[in-house]
């Protein structure tokens, strides 16, 4: 593994709390496809972890509740033929998933009014365009 996977700031995924499971991956893989366990399933117990600050943990539990099974989040990777690369991919994917889920909510939008001058100019241009188009009718050509 290439070291700690940073979620955000100084908070990273603790290696001790990651649960790895390996199995045979489907699809092409050459001669050793039926003998190597290259598919990786990475599980992280979000509900019982002490690695995340309490506020982040609450946010993540709320945002990921549809993906959680008994408080555990799982990520699977099988796109590479090598188990090591699939482990890297799964860990990075889990870290980015947690980073997105623990992000603070966006600031609420401040309602603003359209300035009167802009609105009046828009209406003037609209009326001028209408006059231009009305002038194209064949009523007066008789």
Q: Each residue of 28-50: pLDDT tens digit?
A: 666 666 677 788 899 999 888 88
On whether the CB atoms of residues 39 and 86 are closer than 8 A, the answer is yes
Tell which residue, 20, 108, 102, 13, has the closest CA to residue 51.
Answer: 13
Predicted confidence at residue 68, as pLDDT, reads 85
pLDDT digits (tens, 9 = 90+) for 9-26: 788 888 888 888 888 877
Helices (H) and strands (E) in the chain, counts: 3, 5
């Amino acid at each position: 593994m290439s070291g700690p996977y940073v979620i955000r700031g100084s908070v990273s995924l603790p290696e001790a709390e990651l649960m790895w499971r390996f199995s045979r991956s489907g699809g092409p893989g050459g001669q050793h496809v039926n003998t190597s366990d290259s598919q990786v399933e990475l599980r992280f117990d979000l509900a019982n972890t002490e690695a995340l600050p309490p506020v982040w943990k609450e946010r993540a539990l709320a945002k990921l509740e549809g993906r959680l099974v008994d408080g555990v989040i799982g990520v699977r990777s099988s796109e590479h033929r090598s188990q090591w690369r699939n482990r890297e991919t799964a860990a990075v994917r889990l870290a980015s998933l947690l980073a997105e889920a623990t992000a603070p909510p966006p600031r609420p939008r401040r309602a603003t009014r359209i300035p009167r001058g802009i609105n009046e100019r828009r209406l003037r241009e609209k009326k001028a365009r209408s006059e231009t188009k009305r002038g194209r009718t064949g009523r007066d050509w008789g």
